[in-house]
Amino acid sequence: METGLLSRIMDAAVFAALKHQYQRRAGYDKLPYINHLLKVAEALIRVGGEQDDALLLAGILHDVLEDTDATHEELALRFGRETADIVLELTDDMSLPYMERKWLQVEKAHLLSEKARKVRIVDKSTNIRDIFTYPLDWPLEKKEAYLENSIQVTTRIRGGNPRLDHWFDETVAWARQRLAEMYAAIKNGPK
Ligand code: ZN
């Protein structure tokens, strides 16, 4: 990795950390937002072997338009238009209800650019790992629905990086096992 890219990645990490600083991940007990963003960028590099500037910057910044007051223009000026455009592609319309946003991610998956697809797949893998690792105030059915929705989205956009696809498949297999254990614990638990 050349130093120019490293400094741009750190700039994006600090920018995202500050923009998201008063947020915690929804439903989790005080989990900082930046943890999620760093995991996504780290997996793109470590698992995917990705080195592209715009892709890695978008990995860190992918939730900043959706969840903070940052603007597309602000991102374009500081991180370049390609990065800003990838982030925009990955931004859900937060005025829509949760279920509709998830359905639209499936419906519109085929429209995503190649770089946006990679971020989306890693975002799903990372979220699934968090959902089945940390305490989260979702019923099991909602966790299961997130898993199924992620599979539907990923089925439509996989193929750009086999290593990222494989990591997603491993994540799903692990999550299914966790889910079965969780259902069993409810069934066999104290009445
Ligand atoms: Zn995300």
137 is catalytic: no
- Say how many Å lie between the CA of residue 125 and the centre of ligand 1: 10
| Residue 35 CB neighbour total at 10 angstroms | 15
What percent of the chain is modeled with pLDDT above 90?
Answer: 82
The pLDDT value recorded for residue 1 is: 54
Q: Which two tokens stand for residue 92?
A: 């859900």
pLDDT digits (tens, 9 = 90+) for 9-28: 999 999 999 999 888 877 77
d(CA 105, CA 155): 12
pLDDT tens digits for range 130-176: 999 988 889 999 999 999 999 999 999 999 999 999 999 999 999 99
**Residues 82, 59: Cα–Cα separation, whole Å:** 12
CA of residue 190 to ligand 1 center, whole Å: 36
Catalytic annotation on 66?
A: yes
DSSP 48: T
Q: How far is the CA of 77 from the centre of ligand 1 (A)?
A: 22
Q: Residue 63: its pLDDT value, please?
A: 95
Q: Give the pLDDT score at 146.
A: 96
Active-site residue, from 42, 66, 92, 144: 66
Ligand 1 center–CA 182 separation, angstroms = 24
Question: Taking a C-beta distance cutoff of 8 angstroms, is the pair 147, 172 a contact?
Answer: yes
Question: Which pLDDT tens digit goes with each residue over 65-122?
Answer: 999 999 999 999 999 999 999 999 999 989 999 999 999 999 999 999 999 999 999 9
Q: Please choose, from the candidates 50, 42, 47, the residue with its C-alpha nearest in 3D space to the C-alpha of residue 13.
A: 42
Question: How many alpha carbons lie under 13 Å from residue 173 in its C-beta half-sphere?
Answer: 6
- pLDDT score for 22: 84
H/E element, 10: helix 3-19
Task: Please give the pLDDT value at position 53.
Answer: 96
- The pair of structure tokens assigned to 81 is 């238009």
Q: In this structure, what DSSP letter does residue 149 have?
A: H
**In 3D, which of 59, 61, 35, 58 has the Cα closest to residue 47?**
59
Ligand 1 centroid to 137 CA: how many Å?
18
Assess contact for 146 and 101: CB atoms under 8 A. no
Top-confidence residue, 14 or 185: 14
Please give the domain boundaries of the chain with CATH numbers for all domains. Answer: 3-188 (1.10.3210.10)
Q: Which of 67, 82, 92, 130 is catalytic?
A: 67
